[in-house]
Amino acid sequence: MLVAFSVAPLGAGESVTAAVADAVRVVRESGLPNRTDSMFTTIEGEWDEVMDVVKRATEAVGRHGNRVSLVLKADIRPGHAGELTGKVERVEAALTSFE
C-alpha cells in the first residue's frame, strides 16, 4: 500500500519547518520506502506498519503545538510492491511513447 500524507501543527506560527522535519525524520528512520516532496511524504508498506509510521509522525508534530492537521491519501492494492517508483516509471514510459 502507498500512503501519501501531510502533517502540520496548527497555531504554531508561520513556519512549520521544524515540525515537518521531525515527521520526516520518523518516516526515514522507519526503514520503509519513502519519498518527500514539497506537499506530501509518501511511504510504502503493509497497512499496520504504514499506519504506525503515520501515527508516530503525527505525534512528533504534536509536540510542536496542541493541534495537528493530517491529510492522508492511500492506494491499497494487495499483492503489489515497488509501486512508489513503479507507478511513476509507467507514466514516464507512456509519455516517452508519445514523443
> Which residue segments constitute the domains of the chain, with CATH numbers given?
2-97 (3.30.70.930)
As a whole-number percent, the residues of the chain with pLDDT over 90 amount to 71
Q: Residue 43 and residue 72: Cα distance in Å, rounded?
A: 11
Phi, psi of 58 (to 5 degrees): -65, -40
Closest CA to 19 of 48, 49, 41, 43: 41
As a whole-number percent, the residues of the chain with pLDDT over 70 amount to 98
Q: Residue 19 and residue 6: Cα distance in Å, rounded?
A: 11
The model carries a pTM of 0.88
Q: What was the pLDDT predicted at 99? A: 67
pLDDT digits 0-9 by tens, 66-82: 899 999 999 999 888 89
Q: Which carries the bigger pLDDT value, residue 29 or residue 91?
A: 29
